[in-house]
Amino acid sequence: MTSFTKLADNETPVIAVHPTRRVSKINPNIYAGFTEHMGRCIYGGIYDPGNPLSDENGFRKDVVNALKDLNIPVVRYPGGNFCATYHWLDGVGPKDQRPSRPELAWLGTETNHFGTDEFMKWCEVVGTEPYLCFNFGTGTLDEALAWVEYCNGTGNTYYANLRRKNGRQEPYNVKYWALGNEVWGPWQVEQTTKEAYAHKALQWAKALKLLDPSLVLILCGQDGTASWDYYTLKQCLVPAHSPLSTSAVPLIDMHSIHLYTSSDQHLPNATAPLAAERAIEITSSLIDLARIENKVPPSQPRPTICFDEWNVWDPIRAEGSLGAEESYTLSDALAVAIWLNVFIRKSRDVGMACIAQSVNVISPLMTTPEGIIKQTTWWPLYLFSRFMRGWTVSAHVSCGAYEGETAPVWLRSAMETPWLDVSASMGEDGYANLVVVNIHEERGFETKVEGVTGSVEVYTVTGEGVQVTNMKGKEEVSIQESKWNGEGTYEFPKHSMTLMRWKAE
């Protein structure tokens, strides 16, 4: 939680950090990833058989090692829009017997050479948990139940035995399952109404929890600010043992929202992720409203928000059907840092967040036949994942603010947009961590930082200008390490992200 007081630009900014004032636990799942059968994310990204950089499974070893550095706890699969026509049975069994199919989300051909068992194996190699998304377009409830049985079944049943026949004796124990993806969108195969979706989602949830009560089921929301979110939450957040629930456990555990931000102007681009902060606040209120109206008892766990698609993405600049390969700038890196600040500040409500996507497709990590490129956006993600864990702690920032246009437009009237965007955490290792993103293109800010004790480790992400990239053969943006004695003021450089660490007393 970070509060803000607006100052005139000529006044000295002050950031006060309170490491002992723990606000809420940071769920490690906010650093989750996403892999979809889109562009070069799977084929040529995480899976590249025949490449000398790949292992005996066909997995790119350089990609695996890079993702291990991020300590990614969960990865979502197989979509995304792709899942609306995906039939999981096409992707299991002998590869030479798997059918190739026309793929309608991104207008390609799906060979099905990479499917459920390959993804589960890849998750084991990376050291992450799987999160699977049901086909709510052309799929059926029977097909969904069969997939859960295949992944999690322990008995002498047909699909559990099929898994064993395909070489996996023990169950995968997949915990996280999404009840469809963006089914409200006109681009979606089998787009539906909120009324039809809510009815279907509730009925599927009943059956799925009867089969496996341990599942964490994730409702398909919109962007957190839509009537779709209110209606689906109102219809589906019902008390356990209600007339609509035959299960002793709640049917819905999380609510998914998606948002992508971008602008071709730096300041609207950098501040755009603050729209996600307001969306989280609204969604949180809608969850409370549904529980109040439906008389859900306080003993029933409160659903959290699954922000399972987020990133900087301009779909005109990086068209989805052409692979959506963005060339990210320093401005985009600062936007990603503010995205992550939002998740730290709102850790009470966010149970998972999946950057879309993990490799090649609107990704901080790109592959070539010879190696990998870490884009500008890789570095804030790396620093947050490495250090911003444990607890969100109280902080207050007093500084000037950007007052120009925002993207989306409504953000200007809904949120303040300070020059210094701040979050703070307290790790289990006893270190306090402070992130400060200075979005100003021309000015560093000499700032008084209160709450610092002793020597401070400093990690800075910046570059010569907001439009520099790492995609032209030179790493223009990376991490610069330094020290600060914690005395006096500290100047946060123009167009930069700074992470400070110190041993808290």
Is the domain covering 3-503 a CATH 3.20.20.80 domain? Answer: yes
Catalytic (active-site) positions: 182, 309
Q: What pLDDT does residue 245 have?
A: 66
Q: What pLDDT does residue 246 have?
A: 65
Is the pTM higher than 0.95? The answer reads yes
CA separation for the pair 250, 202 (Å, rounded) = 11
User: Whose CA is closest to 79, among 128, 29, 35?
Assistant: 35
* Length, in residues, of the chain: 505
The amino acid that residue 117 corresponds to is D
CA end-to-end distance (rounded Å), the chain: 20
Cβ neighbours of 108 (radius 10 Å)? 17
Any idea where the domains of the chain sit in the sequence? Answer: 3-503
Cβ neighbours of 51 (radius 10 Å)? 17
Confirm if 148 and 210 have CB atoms less than 8 A apart.
Answer: no
Residue by residue, pLDDT tens for the chain (505 residues) are 799 999 999 999 999 999 999 999 999 999 999 999 999 999 999 999 999 999 999 999 999 999 999 999 999 999 999 999 999 999 999 999 999 999 999 999 999 999 999 999 999 999 999 999 999 999 999 999 999 999 999 999 999 999 999 999 999 999 999 999 999 999 999 999 999 999 999 999 999 999 999 999 999 999 999 999 999 999 999 998 777 666 678 999 999 999 999 999 999 999 999 999 999 999 999 999 999 999 999 999 999 999 999 999 999 999 988 999 999 999 999 999 999 999 999 999 999 999 999 999 999 999 999 999 999 999 999 999 999 999 999 999 999 999 999 999 999 999 999 999 999 999 999 999 999 999 999 999 999 999 999 999 999 999 999 999 999 889 999 999 999 999 999 999 999 999 999 999 7
Q: What pLDDT does residue 248 have?
A: 79
Task: Extract the tokens encoding 306.
Answer: 């699954």
Confirm if 402 and 420 have CB atoms less than 8 A apart.
Answer: no
Residues whose CB falls within 8 Å of the CB of residue 497, separated by 6 or more in sequence, listed in order? 333, 334, 337, 379, 380, 383, 435, 436, 437, 438, 460, 461, 462
CA separation for the pair 489, 52 (Å, rounded) = 51
Q: What pLDDT does residue 244 have?
A: 67
Assign 3-state DSSP to the chain and report helix, strand, coil percentages, each to 5. Answer: 30, 30, 45
Q: Residue 77: helix, strand or coil by DSSP?
A: strand
Task: Extract the tokens encoding 1.
Answer: 């939680």
User: Whose CA is closest to 250, among 261, 239, 266, 262?
Assistant: 239
